[in-house]
A and B are shown apart, each in its own frame.
Chain A
Amino acid sequence: MHTLRPLHTIGVLARFAFAICLILILWLAPSSDVSAANTLTVYSGRAERLIKPVLDAFTAKTGIQIDLLSSGTTELVNRMKAEGDRSPADVFITNDAGSLEIARTAGLLRPVGMREVERAIPSQFRAADNSWIGLSGRFWIIVYNTTMVKPDQITSLLDLADPAWKDKVAIPNAGSEYLQAGVSVIRASLGDESTKKFLEGLRDNAGTQVYQKSSQIVEAVAKGQVPIGIVNHYYVYRHLATQPTAPLGVLMPDQQAGGIGAIMNVTGIGILRHTPRIENAKLLVEFLVAQDGQKMFADLDKEYPLHPEVKTDPVLPERKSFRAALVPLTKLAELREPTMQLIEQVGMR
């Protein structure tokens, strides 16, 4: 009789294991086909807290539930390529025009012919065939700690490669899509040789101050850990929104005569080619390019709305007060691979 107890335990364990396997199989099976009509799966390269409120507003308005996967931009592009037609994603939103264009050339996105889009978003912020549509603009700026430096001598990003700034500059890591996009623009404007010199100087000046997240750069500059950083503008204004007294200054680089202009990138949206939920996806695009959606989407992240009639958040510098670089956004994709090689050649982290 003694052996009965353990026997019982093992029987239960075995049944439990079997049940779990069954659950797993049942759970895997339906993931490939359409489960519910009123849902939409969004892959987002933008951080969850910066996009979820807008998507929640969309759900409140339309009743369409959203499944969100927030992850790295390149990771998501790799993922969609791998998943192909089986991808659960219906919509791709991300922070880098280059990545959107790469997704388009990989045949992942479908062109959308929507009058609402053409009316709302100027054509330089869209793919040639409207496979992706820009939603908001961001600029690469120099942030500095006002108590530590007087950046009179800096007019251009290139100045940060000067040995005078040794150990004084914080930069994003080499995998960051917007670093890649920024370097692409510099290459397109100045050529490989000057860009390489710039990167080498920047690498030496940054030393170990290389960050995975740009919010950490702003945090470090605000605390005085490092006097200068290169980031997208909104990280600074988001920080100031929560800590208005932080000693942060913003310098819009390369505005001097003959300078390349501020480096711009956009956040954009694309609809996946294979999606069966095209109508829902279009509703989301429509929602985001409309004036209310534009305002909410841009303000949440302190970005510039692309809809010409939507007002920019008043804390940001007036859009007309500075000049943007002339490299077309759609070129960022083809520039990317040689840029990454250059970045690696220089040995940036």
Chain B
Amino acid sequence: MILAHRLSVSTLQLAVLATAALILLPLGYVTTLALSADPAVWQRLWATRVPELLLNTVSLAGAVALLTLMLGVSTAWMVTRFEFPGRRLWEIALVLPLAMPTYVLAYVYNYLLGFGGPMEQLWQLMAGPQARIFSPQSFWGVTLVMALDTFPFVYLLTRSALLSFNVSFEEVARTCGASPLRTMFSVTLPLLRPSIVAGVALVVLYVVSDFGAVSLLRYQTLTYAVFQQMTGRSDNQAASILSILLVVLALLFLLTERWFRRKSRFYQTTGRYRAPQRLQRGWLHTGLLTACLASVVGLAFGIPTSLLVMWSLSREAQAILDTRFFGFVWNSALLSSLAATAAVLVGLPLAYLASRKPTWLNLGCLQAAYAGYVLPGPVAALAVLVLFLKIMPFLYGTVLVLIVAYVLHFLPAGLQSLEPSIQQITPNLEEVARTLGLGVRETWRRVTLPLIRHGVIVAWVLIFLQTMKELPATLLLRPVGFDTLAIRVWLEASEEYYQLAAPSALLIVLVGLPALFLLLSRDWRAA
């Protein structure tokens, strides 16, 4: 019995170590590739591209963070502090943009705000025929698109913080004579800071690793540059150098965020909790609130989706709905379910061992798995690519390479729901099962797995969704004749064939919706 126990744990241990290696090896290999690159390449990059790329990436992240902060906090405030007809509807509608991949939003805005596009024509009617609006292919264009796509992260975190907010603090401030505005800025918002910062942190990581929007809107960031170097050069030296810079940038940011969060923790000292009451609003305010919320949701989801529907119904789009199109659908579905299954199978032992036997080794392996957070798609692709070329070149160009890249990239998203679900079960239950005579494997099968199945399903759905939307790694690693929906959107949209890209884009959004709602009730953080 004891022997069997040891044996099975050690195989589990081996599996965990293998997973950690699978994740760290590619990253390590890219690092060595970058560090062993010709110093002349480093110098050339520093002298020419790096300052521009760093500045572009950081300023974009900053501007998007600021804009999502305003959008996210104000919308969360509106739906939590006021009561008005339609409030519950808006509460849900504000999450919808999460189902919209950045490249889809980027391509819709490329059309809407583009040169000679409908918005410009409208503006010219009012301001004269020579008037121009700002181009979507600019800093502000990219900022707008990214902010509209990611503000729900801030909204969701702020909203849940506001819902559990203890209103006594505000009342004290008011009693002491602070104006409502002053109360908001010196009591409420500072108390919400940890949640807001966490939301903005998600936004920044998302922006830094985005490929779809910046490539369609031609805005040079580090992630985009890695992709360009990989596709334009015959060696991967420059790409690996830029990748390492990108990883360092993301790491620096994550560490700052952790440090900041640790510095601003707030505690409730007494048990007196009162939930805030929603202010009942009259029709005038209702109108104003509805207009605000409708324009945000409209810009981020309503207008783009209706355009996609319109384009999908056009004759050009109908013509491509043939067996080939369904091949792309099948490819997408197959790849996503393979990646989700593989990631869950890989993630389970990691999360399990880390919570049951939290030795430094197991915890270290788990932390290693979270490395995917700072690995944007092209970097994950590059890492997997160079490693496979080095050790298993015969697998290059197969689906397996792509799956490994997905697992590497999306495992953190899965672990975020696997980990807590395992931690929630007390080990006592398993011990009882063992005492009653069940073997290790039986215990797993009949006790542990059934108890964590919700976490497993959520993790699976999350990774499925992410893979469905994933673009750069798929572009770089796809096997022959293996296009997915995401690739079709990007290929058609980058040649401005808006109608032809629409059916695939619409399908990605539609598949994302039910999954989004499923996750809303649980863990939406990585959607």
Contacts and interface: CB of A to CB of B under 8 A. Distances in A.
A347 B45 CA distance: 9
A216 B110 CA distance: 12
Interface string B232-252: 111000000000000000000
A78 B234 contact: yes
Please tell me the size bucket of the interface on B: 35 or more
B495 A102 contact: no
Interface in A206-260: 208, 210-213, 215-216, 219-220, 223-225
B244 to A, nearest CB: 18
B188 interface: no
Interface residues of A, number: 61
A93 to B, nearest CB: 14
Contacts of A111: none
A75 B231 contact: yes
Given A340-B233, A345-B44, A20 B341 contact: yes
Interface stretch (A6-14, A182-190, A304-312): A6-14
Nearest to B386: A82
Nearest to B45: A344
Nearest to B479: A31
Main secondary structure of the interface of B (DSSP, over half): helix
B346 to A, nearest CB: 11
A315 interface: no
Interface stretch (B143-151, B388-396, B412-420): B388-396
Interface string B46-68: 01110010000000000000000
A224 B397 contact: no
B325 interface: no
Nearest to B232: A175
A347 B49 contact: yes
A55 interface: no
Interface string B489-514: 00100111000000000000000000
Interface stretch (A64-72, A120-128, A288-296, A322-330): A64-72
Interface stretch (B16-24, B77-85, B304-312, B446-454): B446-454
A319 interface: no
Interface in A15-51: 16-17, 20-21, 24, 27-28, 31-32, 41, 43, 47-48
Contact of B397 (A79, A175, A176, A211): A79
Interface of A: 3, 6-7, 9-11, 13, 16-17, 20-21, 24, 27-28, 31-32, 41, 43, 47-48, 67-69, 72, 74-75, 77-79, 81-84, 86-89, 102, 173-176, 208, 210-213, 215-216, 219-220, 223-225, 340-341, 344-347, 349
Given A11-B445, A174-B232, 12 more contacts: A7-B446, A9-B450, A13-B456, A28-B395, A31-B479, A43-B480, A79-B397, A208-B137, A210-B218, A212-B494, A216-B495, A344-B45
29 contacts: A3-B446, A3-B450, A7-B446, A13-B456, A17-B341, A20-B337, A24-B338, A27-B399, A28-B398, A31-B398, A31-B479, A67-B481, A68-B480, A69-B481, A75-B476, A81-B234, A86-B396, A88-B480, A89-B480, A173-B232, A175-B232, A175-B233, A176-B232, A213-B494, A213-B495, A220-B115, A225-B115, A225-B116, A347-B49
